[in-house]
Chain A
Amino acid sequence: MKKPPLAAVALAAVLAVGASACGGTTKSSEAKDNGAAATSGGKANPNAPIKKNLKLAFLPKQVNNPYETIVDNAGIAGAKEFGGQAKEVGPSDASASSQISYLNTLIQQRQDAILIAANDPNAVCGPLKQAMSRKIAVVAYDSDAAKECRDVFINQASSEEIGRSEVKVMSDLIGGKGKIAILSATANATNQNTWIGFMKDELKKPEYAGIKLVKVAYGDDDDQKSFQQTQGLLQAYPDLKGIIAPTTVGIAAAARYVSGSKYKGTVEVSGLGTPDQMRKFVKDGTVSKFELWNPGDLGYLASYAAAALASGQITGAQGETFKAGRLGERTIGKDGEVILGPPTVFDKSNIDNFHF
Chain B
Amino acid sequence: MAPEAPAKTRAPAARAAAPRGAARLVRWDVIVTALLIVVFAGGALGTSDFATGDNLSFALGDLSEIALIALPMTLLVVAAEVDLSVASVLGLCSALFGALWNAGWAIETIIPLLILIGALGGLVNGLLVTRLGLPSLAVTIGTMTLYRGLAYVVLGTKAVAQFPQNYADMAVKTVPGTPIPYPFALFVVLAIATAIVLHATGLGRALFAIGAQEEAAFFAGIRVKRIKLLLFVVSGVVAAFAGAVYTLRYGSARADNGIGLELAVIAAVLLGGVDFDGGRGTLGGVVAGVLLIGLLRNLLMLRDVATEIQSIVTGLLLIVSVLTPRIVARVREARRHHRGSLPAPS
Binary B-proximity of A1-44 (CB < 8 A = 1, otherwise 0): 10110100010011011001101111111101110000000000
Are the C-beta atoms of A125 and B251 separated by less than 8 Å?
Answer: yes
- Partner pick for A105 among B256, B302, B308, CB 8 A cutoff: B302
Stretch binding the partner chain, chosen from A90-98, A225-233, A334-342: A90-98
A251 vs chain B, min Cβ distance (A): 25
B154 vs chain A, min Cβ distance (A): 16
Are the C-beta atoms of A95 and B115 separated by less than 8 Å?
Answer: no
Q: Which chain A residues lie closer than 8 Å to B301 at the CB level?
A: 89, 101-102, 105
A257 vs chain B, min Cβ distance (A): 31
A164 vs chain B, min Cβ distance (A): 30
A63 part of interface (Cβ distance < 8 Å): yes
Q: Tell me the residues in window 230-258 of chain B with beta carbons closer than 8 Å to chain A beta carbons.
A: 230, 233, 246, 250-252, 254, 256-258
Q: Which chain B residues lie closer than 8 Å to A107 at the CB level?
A: 54
**Bound complex: CA of A306 vs CA of B226, how far in Å?**
60
Are the C-beta atoms of B256 and A28 separated by less than 8 Å?
Answer: no
B125 vs chain A, min Cβ distance (A): 15
Total A-B pairs in contact (CB under 8 Å)?
135
B161 part of interface (Cβ distance < 8 Å): yes
Are the C-beta atoms of A20 and B106 separated by less than 8 Å?
Answer: yes
B223 part of interface (Cβ distance < 8 Å): yes
State whether A91 and B307 are in contact (beta carbons under 8 Å apart), knowing that A1-B223, A27-B104 are contacts in the complex: yes
B58 part of interface (Cβ distance < 8 Å): yes
**Bound complex: CA of A253 vs CA of B223, how far in Å?**
63
Q: Which chain B residues lie closer than 8 Å to A27 at the CB level?
A: 101-102, 104, 162
Stretch binding the partner chain, chosen from B164-172, B316-324, B334-342: B164-172
Are the C-beta atoms of A1 and B113 separated by less than 8 Å?
Answer: no
Report which residue of B112, B227, B233 has the largest number of chain A beta carbons within 10 angstroms of its beta carbon. Answer: B112
A186 part of interface (Cβ distance < 8 Å): no
B140 part of interface (Cβ distance < 8 Å): no
Q: Which chain A residues lie closer than 8 Å to B166 at the CB level?
A: 25
A35 vs chain B, min Cβ distance (A): 12
**Bound complex: CA of A34 vs CA of B164, how far in Å?**
10
**Bound complex: CA of A107 vs CA of B227, how far in Å?**
46
Q: Which residue of A lies closest to B203 (CB)?
A: A1
- Partner pick for B302 among A23, A24, A109, CB 8 A cutoff: A109
**Bound complex: CA of A271 vs CA of B43, how far in Å?**
52
Are the C-beta atoms of B115 and A13 separated by less than 8 Å?
Answer: yes
- Partner pick for A24 among B54, B109, B119, B161, CB 8 A cutoff: B109
B90 vs chain A, min Cβ distance (A): 11
Are the C-beta atoms of A104 and B161 separated by less than 8 Å?
Answer: no
**Bound complex: CA of A101 vs CA of B49, how far in Å?**
14
**Bound complex: CA of A26 vs CA of B97, how far in Å?**
12
Are the C-beta atoms of B107 and A26 separated by less than 8 Å?
Answer: yes
Q: Tell me the residues in window 86-123 of chain A with beta carbons closer than 8 Å to chain B beta carbons.
A: 87, 89-93, 95-97, 100-102, 104-105, 107-110, 120-123
B9 part of interface (Cβ distance < 8 Å): no
- Partner pick for B112 among A3, A13, A101, CB 8 A cutoff: A13
A76 vs chain B, min Cβ distance (A): 13
**Bound complex: CA of A314 vs CA of B113, how far in Å?**
48
**Bound complex: CA of A17 vs CA of B223, how far in Å?**
31
B298 part of interface (Cβ distance < 8 Å): yes
Are the C-beta atoms of A10 and B119 separated by less than 8 Å?
Answer: yes
B346 part of interface (Cβ distance < 8 Å): no
**Bound complex: CA of A89 vs CA of B109, how far in Å?**
40
| Chain A residues bordering chain B, tally (CB within 8 A) | 48
A210 part of interface (Cβ distance < 8 Å): no
**Bound complex: CA of A87 vs CA of B256, how far in Å?**
29
Q: Tell me the residues in window 280-309 of chain B with beta carbons closer than 8 Å to chain A beta carbons.
A: 297-298, 301-302, 304, 306-308
A83 part of interface (Cβ distance < 8 Å): no
**Bound complex: CA of A120 vs CA of B227, how far in Å?**
40
Q: Which residue of A lies closest to B63 (CB)?
A: A101
B260 part of interface (Cβ distance < 8 Å): yes
State whether A26 and B106 are in contact (beta carbons under 8 Å apart), knowing that A108-B55, A108-B58, A123-B251 are contacts in the complex: yes
| Chain B residues bordering chain A, tally (CB within 8 A) | 55
Are the C-beta atoms of B254 and A101 separated by less than 8 Å?
Answer: no
B303 vs chain A, min Cβ distance (A): 10
Report which residue of A21, A102, A110 has the largest number of chain B beta carbons within 10 angstroms of its beta carbon. Answer: A21
Are the C-beta atoms of B307 and A101 separated by less than 8 Å?
Answer: no
Q: Which residue of B lies closest to A30 (CB)?
A: B164
Are the C-beta atoms of B159 and A92 separated by less than 8 Å?
Answer: no
Q: Which chain B residues lie closer than 8 Å to A100 at the CB level?
A: 62, 250
Are the C-beta atoms of A96 and B115 separated by less than 8 Å?
Answer: no
B295 vs chain A, min Cβ distance (A): 12
A126 part of interface (Cβ distance < 8 Å): yes
Are the C-beta atoms of A104 and B62 separated by less than 8 Å?
Answer: yes
B222 part of interface (Cβ distance < 8 Å): yes
Report which residue of A16, A108, A110 has the largest number of chain B beta carbons within 10 angstroms of its beta carbon. Answer: A108
Q: Which residue of A lies closest to B306 (CB)?
A: A63
Q: Which residue of A lies closest to B55 (CB)?
A: A108
Report which residue of A14, A101, A121, A146 has the largest number of chain B beta carbons within 10 angstroms of its beta carbon. Answer: A101
**Bound complex: CA of A120 vs CA of B226, how far in Å?**
42
Report which residue of A29, A96, A146 has the largest number of chain B beta carbons within 10 angstroms of its beta carbon. Answer: A96
Are the C-beta atoms of B256 and A96 separated by less than 8 Å?
Answer: yes
Q: Which residue of A lies closest to B54 (CB)?
A: A108
B145 part of interface (Cβ distance < 8 Å): no
B174 vs chain A, min Cβ distance (A): 13
Are the C-beta atoms of A26 and B104 separated by less than 8 Å?
Answer: yes
Q: Which residue of A lies closest to B171 (CB)?
A: A126
B259 part of interface (Cβ distance < 8 Å): yes
A105 vs chain B, min Cβ distance (A): 4
State whether A17 and B55 are in contact (beta carbons under 8 Å apart), knowing that A25-B167, A92-B308, A104-B62 are contacts in the complex: no
Report which residue of A3, A25, A89, A125 has the largest number of chain B beta carbons within 10 angstroms of its beta carbon. Answer: A25
Are the C-beta atoms of B159 and A101 separated by less than 8 Å?
Answer: no
Q: Which residue of A lies closest to B258 (CB)?
A: A97
A4 vs chain B, min Cβ distance (A): 6
Are the C-beta atoms of A123 and B250 separated by less than 8 Å?
Answer: yes
- Partner pick for B104 among A23, A28, A97, CB 8 A cutoff: A28
A211 vs chain B, min Cβ distance (A): 37
| 7 A-B pairs whose Cβ atoms sit less than 8 Å apart in the complex | A4-B226, A10-B119, A89-B304, A91-B307, A96-B256, A109-B49, A120-B159
Leading 5 A-B pairs by shortest Cβ distance? A24-B106, A122-B161, A24-B108, A123-B252, A104-B58
